[in-house]
Amino acid sequence: MHNFTRPLLTFTLLFSLATMSVSSFADNPKVKMDTDKGTVIIELFADKAPETVKNFLRYVEAGKYDGTVFHRVMKGFMNQGGGFDRDYKKVDTFPAIKNEADNGLKNTRGTIAMARTNDPNSATNQFFINTVDNPNLNHTNKSVRGWGYCVFGKVTEGMDVMDKISLVKTGPAGPFPSDAPVETVTIQKVILIQAEANNATVK
């Protein structure tokens, strides 16, 4: 009698691994952010912050981050961008989203989180990347003061680029009295990596 157990187990294992890989990518898409200081790869935690990731990718797919700037850079804190073009004009936004900062993710070095006003549910297109651990930005409770800032991803490659940006000279620019790069730091393009791969395949 032939023993088909081992091949069957091997096929099942390979199929499971392939399925897991696809599922993992679907749950955690990655984007590539090209800046004039270098390229950054960011993994997005759709399983932890689904609405926030959906919102961020909506801006990415619409090309609304292309040509925007890091308008607020604070050494030893974070780099903020996504909301203004090179002339410091506000970029059009989609409706604000609900705050998902109670997802258990922390504002640690390398994480990306949504910027907002004092209203916890006011985030639109602006985001920031933590260049150090910022526990004071974490969710503590569902009060106005305690909501915190929603982390929805993390830099997996190019944190050295964020560190370079954090060291630029800052001062007044556009509507900002301080903390704006004296020499503009531009986000040239942001693209979903899977979409880029598909375009390369078509060509």
User: 110: which 2 tokens?
Assistant: 């390398």
Model confidence at 19, in pLDDT bands (50, 70, 90)?
A: very low
Contact 167, 181 (CB under 8 A): no
Q: Which CATH class is domain 30-202?
A: mainly beta
Q: How far apart are CA 115 and CA 100, in angstroms?
A: 12
Contact 192, 31 (CB under 8 A): yes
Q: What is the pLDDT of residues 112-146, one digit of tens each?
A: 999 999 999 999 999 999 999 999 999 999 999 99
pLDDT at residue 200, rounded to an integer: 52
What percentage of the chain carries pLDDT values higher than 70? 82
Task: Report whether pLDDT(79) > 60.
Answer: yes
For 106, which DSSP code?
-
CA 183-85-168 angle, to 5 degrees, is 25
Length of the chain: 203
Q: How far apart are CA 193 and CA 19, in angstroms?
A: 19
